[in-house]
Chain A
């Protein structure tokens, strides 16, 4: 069975541009979580989607947004990229809320 898949794996963008990251959860999982791991920092919660709705978001500005599609895959959008947005972005999925989360390999975003 396929795990959580993220695309792309690596990405380089210029400051001010917009980026879209994609996540496909494990089949049957309805909850998708996005996390940011900036260089030298710990993992920070970004967004949680469940059954197509945004259920919670972390302490990030509105230029970080996303959505979840009817097939439960998800996109994370970041507008007006800043240098400090350079990070590993991890997606995780779980069967339902508060069940075990499984992580993807991440997308490494570099903003120059």
Chain B
């Protein structure tokens, strides 16, 4: 069992839909990261969370430390949101990130 599990693996949505991507982890963490990877490989850090909720534009990330679960929400989705979304956790003082396998999102017109 992977330390970081994401669901769904693939997601297709129509423009305007509300999207939720889930991440569960099995280890104690110091922080959880949501990353976006576009075709071509470049990665953008969307959020870093250790508790509660963060919002940036149409993106919202929440984390429940007790349940070891985080969600990434996209409101009013747009085709430019099409990308792979990756959840990653950092634990203790190691600082290295352990990654989920990613959720491939495609938003169609």
The yes or no verdict on A and B being binding partners is: yes
Where the two chains meet, the residues of A that have a C-beta atom closer than 8 Å to any C-beta of B are 31, 33, 35, 37, 42-45, 48, 50, 55-56, 58, 88, 90, 92, 94, 97-106, 108
Chain A nearest CB: distance from B87 CB in Å?
Answer: 11
Interface centre among B31, B42, B88, B96 (most CB of A within 10 A): B96
Can you name the residue of chain A whose Cβ is closest to the Cβ of B102? Answer: A42
Where the two chains meet, the residues of B that have a C-beta atom closer than 8 Å to any C-beta of A are 30-31, 33, 35, 40-45, 48, 86, 88, 90, 93-102
Q: What chain B residues lie within 8 Å of A100 (beta carbons)?
A: 33, 45, 48
Where chain A touches its partner, the secondary structure class is: strand
Report yes or no: B42 in contact with A103, Cβ–Cβ below 8 A. Answer: yes
A–B Cβ pairs within 8 angstroms, 30 of them: A31-B95, A33-B95, A33-B97, A35-B99, A37-B41, A42-B86, A43-B88, A43-B99, A44-B99, A45-B98, A48-B94, A48-B96, A56-B95, A56-B96, A58-B96, A88-B41, A90-B41, A90-B43, A98-B93, A98-B95, A99-B48, A100-B48, A101-B45, A101-B48, A103-B35, A103-B43, A103-B45, A104-B42, A105-B42, A106-B42
